[in-house]
Amino acid sequence: MKIFFSSFFGVLAAFLFLILVVVGLASIPSEEVHIESNTTLVLQLDGLIQDRPTSSMAFLDELLDQPLTLSLTETLLALDAAAEDERIEAVRIEMGLMDMGYASIQELRSAIHRLEAQGKPVHVYAKVYTQKMLYLARAGSHLYIAPSGIVEFSGLSASPLYFKGALDKLGVKAHLIRGSDNIYKSAGEPFIADEMSEANRRQIQERLQSIYAGILADLHSDNLDTAALDARIETNPLFSAEEALAQGLVDEISYGWPADESEDWMDLADYYSALEEPSGKQKIAVIVAEGDVQDGSGSDGVITDGSLVAALDKVRDQKRIGAVVLRINSPGGSALASDMIWTAVAELATEKPVIVSMGDVAASGGYYIAAPGQEIYANPATITGSIGVFGLLFSAEDLMHTTLGIKSQPVGTHPLASALQLDQAPSPAMLAVLQQNVDRTYSRFKDIVAAGRQLERLQVDSIARGHVYTGSDALKLGLVDQEGGFLDALKRAHELAGYSEPARIVFYPDDLDPLEEALAALGAKTQSAWQSWTWGSSAQWLQKIQSEWNALHTYQGVQMRAQSLNL
């Protein structure tokens, strides 16, 4: 019955959307946007903030008469322009329950500090503040909170799900083949164990402590008494509006923004669209690699070797593109797809400067494709490294033989011709073959890193093994070159291209068809709303389990993938 209703609401949503298209296209205004003097920009941060610009979401927001949604890269470009724009007087940030990683927040914090350094105050309002929201907001000049609002600040934790118990009940067994010394390679661990390994627990704890120390250091630089804050959350991580004010977490309690007679307001997305592009022929390409690395083509929330290689080749052929920023936000995935992308990046780097900008995560396969870059920039909270390889396959002999009473009778010309059967565990001989293949791929991974980073092979051996690092730790180990974000990498790309004036920024890969992508986005929102209505407060857990379970099909073949912790 639930499947029926899900399908029904999906079709209904698509039908209503088509009606909105017809009505919306007729009502979209075409007036040119003008930027007035003494303008205050309004930035609305709510929901998922992605790195890659998507025309579909702008298309959908425009049709529904909603504020335009900017990607993180576009937001950073807009704030950077506003810092130098004499017409811009101030910025106001209206915060909802935003979803982004700590590295992305650090980039926005830097942009806010630059605005304030140029004499442009940044005021922030939210009804409630989560820890991430507060971390970003404290970079601002003045924080407002609703009288009935709360602030949550509880430190960092990670709770990866483990599925072996469920697989045992189903009669399914996972077989994990890791690189021979990959004790930290933990992405496949939840399918072979009931609890976390000591090595994985140790590296996660190191990662959490490194990121949290950075958060406290930044908040201390914002004139916050972090010692008192850290002591308070030992017993109570929730602050009422009055307690938050007394603790110095916020500056004022208010129902919305204070009264202001100024009418010179402008949405940041409108401001960005109204900015004049540089008139010259010089270009900088920004290639956004965001999501899991998968084989095939298409770019709807994932990195596919077909689409990204095509984009890299296209950029290489563009004579007016003087340099490239490769923005990576990925935990990795398919080893084969990662290697195909690496080849294209390496070829591109022989003809144009390639500067890598790491987002929230650029680990395992995400680090593999970064290795050929001339310079790598990462934020302190970026998750990177995880130089390691694994293979994962499943057999269901108990389910097939005992529960279902089904048994195969393989006949073949060679001993291993039928080695991978669903109802049979792989033989020791087949496991040895798979181990050899994984080790060969792991050895190549280390060779790629040693050559790309100009490190001794023994040094790479010591820092590999699947170990995950924060950006600040990776900088000390030589895995990255500079601490910084997207704008820092973009500035360096201009320098290496020999450009003295700002160049035109061109994003790759190309967007999908706006209508097709917008329909997919609307369908996803409808499904999420339906699950929330059906399962109530359990919807978030259901979606997390469903997401992990659905990801299993992407684990086929040899993997360069880091465990996602969703910090």
Q: pLDDT tens across 86-133, in order?
A: 999 999 999 999 989 999 999 999 999 999 999 999 999 999 999 999
Residue 417 contacts by C-beta under 8 Å, 6 or more apart in sequence? 410
Q: How high is the pLDDT of residue 83? A: 97
List, by residue range, all CATH 3.90.226.10 domains of the chain.
Answer: 33-156+207-274, 283-391+424-520+544-561
Residue ranges, the chain, pLDDT below 70: 1-32, 55-68, 260-263, 299, 511-554
pLDDT for res 419: 85
Place of tokens 């990607």: 71
Domain 33-156+207-274 has CATH 3.40.30.10: no
pLDDT, tens digit, 9 for 90 and up, residues 208-256? 999 999 999 999 999 999 999 999 999 999 999 999 999 999 999 999 8
Angle between helices 305-317 and 335-349 (to 10 degrees): 0
> How do 332-334 and 390-395 pair as beta strands?
unpaired
Dihedral angle, C-alpha 232, 236, 238, 243, nearest 10 °? -50
pLDDT at 537: 53
Any idea which fold 283-391+424-520+544-561 has? Answer: 2-enoyl-CoA Hydratase; Chain A, domain 1 (3.90.226)
pTM of the model as a whole: 0.88
**3 state DSSP class of 490:** helix
Active-site positions read: 185, 364
Treating both helix axes as pointing N-terminal to C-terminal, what angle do 72-84 and 486-497 enclose, rounded to 10 degrees? 70
Q: Would you say 345 and 326 are in contact if contact means Cβ atoms under 8 Å apart?
A: yes
